Amino acid sequence: MEDSSSGRSEIGARLLIRQRALQKIDGTKFGWYHLRAILVAGSGFFTDAYDIFSINLGNFSYGSDLTF
């Protein structure tokens, strides 16, 4: 069975690593990479929303043409 103090120290080490990584991210300046990521995410969101809209419109059109 594992000692509980070693488990706590492992969690503390992981939290420290995570905290240092977040501090490094917070310290970076806004640059071209950030703008590019925003544009790619925005265009993906737009195309996904347009795809859902056009599929629903197409389904409605096909459904209204079929009469049984």
> Do 10 and 36 fall into the same domain?
no
> Do 42 and 23 fall into the same domain?
no
pLDDT, mean over the chain: 83
> Do 63 and 36 fall into the same domain?
yes
> pLDDT grade, residue 1 (50/70/90)?
very low
Measured between alpha carbons, how far is residue 23 from residues 4, 11, 13, 16 in Å?
29, 18, 15, 10
pLDDT at 59: 78
pLDDT at 4: 59
**How many domains are there within the chain?**
2
> Do 38 and 55 fall into the same domain?
yes
> Do 23 and 7 fall into the same domain?
yes
> Do 41 and 24 fall into the same domain?
no
Domain that holds residue 5: 1-28
